[in-house]
Amino acid sequence: MDVGFIGLGGMGSAMASRLIAAGHRVLVWNRSPAAAEKLRAEGAEVVANPADAFQADAVLTMLASDEVIEELIIAPGLLKGARPGLIHLVTATISVDFAKTLEKLHAEAGVAYVGAPVLGRPDVAAKGELNVLAAGKPDNIARVKPLLDAIGKATWVVGTEPHLANVAKLAANFTLVSAIETMAEAFAFCERQNVAPEKIAEILTGTLFAAPAYKTYSAAILERKFEAGFKLALGLKDVRLMLAASEKAGAPLPFASVVRDNFVDAIAHGEGDKDWSAVSRVAFRRANLAND
């Protein structure tokens, strides 16, 4: 299959690489050319502009925000100039409202649209082990199944309206950031009372919370390994999307407000470019504990 790919950050590059390895012809574009050139060495074709990527059978976009999608895809009219029969998969975390707008714009342009945000970090994407949350018309999802199989270990179909995948992704991210915050507070609580955080992490991840997210992020928190897998500043963006969607839906997320404030605190202390697990420093700092 001919596949366009726009947005080659850590996640996008890893996903595009998996598509190349699966034997697809991959047409890549990125604002900064270095990432595209690296993929050229793997067999990708670097195109001159985003519109060229929309001349494939399908195009995946991994762009950081609603605003970037508007700037690069919608405003230049790429949907109107897309190849007939193309399917557009939006794989990033975007707002529910904007996803609904994209549904209308794609319908007006006659372009098939699948919401396909992913769960996982760049290292998971490099192994082709992402979980894909997909929503859209069943025949559209069926057509792009080979692509979803190349980038992920499982595809979870949420519904027939693409924006539903974004609702599910925000729910998943809310649960994840809540887990990170809870672990940070629990570890600081134990350390202040002479229970080694490493011991409570061992207990939790070996009993009640024996899940990959708890194991991965408890280690990051305890070892202070905050190399950017998913930048804290982008995490703040996602928390804001959660709060906006929850307000509109009339389904409050009060703990998301706590996490948002802690993200703001962490960014104010220079953590914005670190992994979002660096928000744990806030809990340790408030407990007057060593944080280096």
Residue 176 tokens read as: 């994840």
Which of these, 65, 121, 118, lies nearest to 244 by C-alpha position? Answer: 65
Phi (first) and psi of residue 48, to 5 degrees? -75, -30
Contacts of 37 (CB under 8 A, 6+ apart): 46
By three-state DSSP, how is residue 87 classified?
strand
Residue 225 tokens read as: 């390994």
Q: Using an 8 Å Cβ cutoff, are 95 and 245 in contact?
A: yes
Q: How would you classify the pairing of strands 2-6 and 130-135?
A: unpaired
CA 69 – CA 85 distance, rounded (Å): 21
Catalytic (active-site) positions: 169
CA 191 – CA 283 distance, rounded (Å): 11
CA 247 – CA 241 distance, rounded (Å): 10
Q: What is the DSSP letter of 83?
A: P
Contacts of 223 (CB under 8 A, 6+ apart): none
